[in-house]
Structure 1
Amino acid sequence: MEKMFNIIFSGVHLIAALILIALSLIIMGWSAYDVIIHFGKATEIIPLMLQSVGAIIISAAIIDVAQYMMEEEVFKNKELRDPEEARRTITKIIVIITIAVSIEGLVYIFKAGTNDLTLLLYPALLIVVSAILIVALGIYQKLSATIERVEKENP
């Protein structure tokens, strides 16, 4: 019975991962198409390009999540997880999220700078959040590396 449930849930994870990949590719294509269509309009192109870059980075993050789902939930034995591997995966995902948040903040800074300076609070908060994410990731890296080293020394 347990084996049947594992097969069913692996199938569900595979379908979810494939859907995420397909949606991410659609977002990437749409973003590139949007930039190409509006390329002649010089006043709108820079914010649109930045927004498209942000969408593509988010799509890449979604593909990474789908890849992780396929590797961990479909292809690998779920019981054999290495702490170092988990740290690398979490690091990769947090870095991609941080980049996406930073780019989104930059896009909104350009939009707010051209429209109304009082709107700069939200983009400034996004930049601060991305900085906090980087610091938190550094703390996580330090703590998890220390724990891994202690575990290797005391098996």
Structure 2
Amino acid sequence: MIYIKKITEILFTVVYLIAACVLIGLSIAIMGFSIHEVFINFNQDSGFISLMLHTVGTIIISAAILDVAQYMIEEEVMMSKELRDPEEARKTITKILVIISIAVGIEGLVYIFKAGTEDLSLLIYPSILIMVSAFLIISLGIYQKLSVGIEQAERERIVVKT
């Protein structure tokens, strides 16, 4: 039974490593393609600003993909899979929510600039993105406050027992 658990852990570690490497490759390919598109269309006057904003958006998405790949390598490949205590769980959730809120917020800003150059009625979607990003940050702050209180209570309970 112990061997099956060890083999399963190794298998999933390899799968996470492969997935992270694929994400890194895709992210670099997306960035490269976006930059290539800018260079190809550099001398064209029509739509260059729109292309630049699109390129910024795709590079932001690529950076978020790289962050996810980095998280997978750090947490799933290099460290133990089990969350041993509430502090470790809080740090992991914090990393994930920070990655998401940054990507959503920056994407909202890019779309605001894009909507400003095209049609102001398109500002609703990017405004919602920025509000979602702000909500994520506020939620993360509340979660941090509550979980730190739980961690301190847990530490005090352990100290009292010993």
TM-score range, shorter chain: 0.7 to 0.9
CA-atom RMSD in angstroms? 2.3
Mapping of residues 99-118 of structure 1, within 5 Å: 99-118=102-121
CA spacing shift, 1:115–1:54, aligned 2, 3 Å = closer
| Residue type of the alignment partner of 1:103 | I
Aligned length: 155
Match of 2:82 among 76, 79, 83: 79
Q: Which position in structure 2 is the counterpart of 1:12? A: 15
Q: Within 1, Cα distance between the matches of 2:134 and 2:59?
A: 21
Unaligned 5+ runs, structure 1: none
Q: 1:138 is matched by which residue type in structure 2?
A: G
Instruction: Tell me what 2:155 maps to.
Output: 152
Question: 1: distance between equivalents of 2:143 and 2:29?
Answer: 33
Per-residue deviation, 1:46: 4.0
Structure 2: any 5+ residue segments left out of the alignment? none
Residue pair 2:42, 2:48 contacting (<8 A) in 1 also: yes
Identity %: 65
Between stretches 11-20 and 37-46, larger displacement belongs to 37-46
Question: Which structure 2 residues correspond to residues 113-152 of structure 1 after superposition, within 5 A?
Answer: 113-152=116-155
Cα separation, 2, equivalents of 1:143 and 1:49: 42
- Per mean C-alpha deviation after superposition, the further-off stretch among 132-141 and 43-52 is 43-52
Q: Which has the larger radius of gyration?
A: 2
Q: What is the TM-score with the length of structure 2 in the denominator?
A: 0.79
